[in-house]
Amino acid sequence: MSNKLQKIHVVGLGQSCVDYLGTTTLYPPEDGKIELTDLDMRCGGPASTALVTLSRLGISTSFLGSISDDLFGKKIIENLKNEKVDVSYLKVTPGYTSQFAFIAVTQRSGKRTILWHRGSVPHLKPEDVDLTCFPKARVLHVDSLMIEASIEAARQAKELGMYVVMDAGTMRQGSKELAQLVDIIIASESFASPLVGLEAPVKNALHVLRDLGPKQVVITLGAKGSIGLNDQGTFRQEAFQVKTVDTTGAGDVYHGAYIYGLLQGWEMPKCMRFASAAAALKCEKIGAQTGIPDLGAIKSFTKEDAR
């Protein structure tokens, strides 16, 4: 076993992709047409962006995913290596296509509309997962697209005494089973809708998700901030005000920064504040990962806000 793997503190399993980001003055109606003012190619993906966030904050990470040897796959590997995320167990299957997305970013609001393709490369299988390769790892982070591999990884992580954090973006088949194995769920506002209904208060969703088994539940609310629930009660964190250029990846950065706080032993409100600040700073630049701040930038930003 290499010394590098023995230093890994967070393992992430899930998606990594290439994003084409087109900036437009407004999002056109169906069957409409509008000119792009800019076009950028960047890397993204929920689990991988969370790991890049942690890496920039000084945490050693390793990414478990499935890509091919196409142009997108090569770009993904190059980006992760440049961000100092270990790819020793990133599975590369030749002859397929890797995940990519086209993202329309509306100039005035910074909001994004995502059209994505998961690629043709096969998902990770449960037998592809072996967390004993990371003897010092303290946290497993899963984004739950590859549900069977995520469930197997969560089971292994629990046996190894690791925290399991779930990025709950979309309710899928198997999501509830996975949720029963995790310690912390950080969910989108819409994740719990199939369980509580579209019009249910967000506090209802917190309790329903916590009843699945996690000790901590956080629901991210975009510009409305985030709300969390644990044994100590309910906590609300307002969003930080910044000049928003692009919200792509803000939730993924929130997840990574929250995990950083978890590793420091912080209580939920401090983790939420730190994560909210990191996500806000990311929104000042285009792309999921370009604007991810380092530790100094977050500390400086939160001190200024406190004044």
- Residue 258's nearest CA partner among 73, 10, 6 is 10
pLDDT level of residue 193 (50, 70, 90 thresholds): confident
User: Alpha-carbon distance 59 to 305, whole Å?
Assistant: 25
Q: What percent of the chain has pLDDT over 70?
A: 98
Strand locations in 143-232, DSSP E? Answer: 163-168, 184-187, 216-220, 226-230
User: Alpha-carbon distance 103 to 26, whole Å?
Assistant: 13
Q: What percent of the chain has pLDDT over 90?
A: 88
* 107: in domain: no
User: Alpha-carbon distance 139 to 162, whole Å?
Assistant: 5
* 218: in domain: yes
- Give the pLDDT score at 305: 58
Domains identified in the chain, total number: 1
- Give the pLDDT score at 307: 41
* 35: in domain: no
**DSSP reduced 3-state for 151:** helix
pLDDT at residue 98 above 90?
A: yes
pLDDT at residue 1 above 80?
A: no
Note down the domain range covering 250: 3-16+46-100+123-299
pTM of the model: 0.95
By DSSP bridging, strand 66-67 and strand 91-92 are: parallel
pLDDT at residue 2 above 80?
A: no
DSSP category for residue 236: E
b/e 114-146 (16+ beta carbons within 10 angstroms → b): eeeebbebebbeeebbebebbeebbbbbbbbbb
* 289: in domain: yes
* 40: in domain: no
Assign residue 213 the CATH number of its domain. Answer: 3.40.1190.20
Mean per-residue pLDDT over the chain, rounded: 95
- Give the pLDDT score at 144: 83
Structural tokens at position 203: 């506090």
User: Alpha-carbon distance 55 to 49, whole Å?
Assistant: 10
pLDDT at residue 200 above 90?
A: no
1-15, 65-79, 150-164, 268-282: which range is least confident on average?
Answer: 1-15
What average pLDDT does the segment 185-201 reach?
89
Q: Which residue has the tokens 């770009």?
A: 75
* 146: in domain: yes
pLDDT level of residue 57 (50, 70, 90 thresholds): very high
* 59: in domain: yes
* 24: in domain: no
pLDDT at residue 271 above 80?
A: yes
Residue 297 Cα distances to 15, 136, 190, 304, angstroms:
27, 28, 31, 11
User: Alpha-carbon distance 115 to 280, whole Å?
Assistant: 23
By DSSP bridging, strand 38-44 and strand 17-24 are: antiparallel
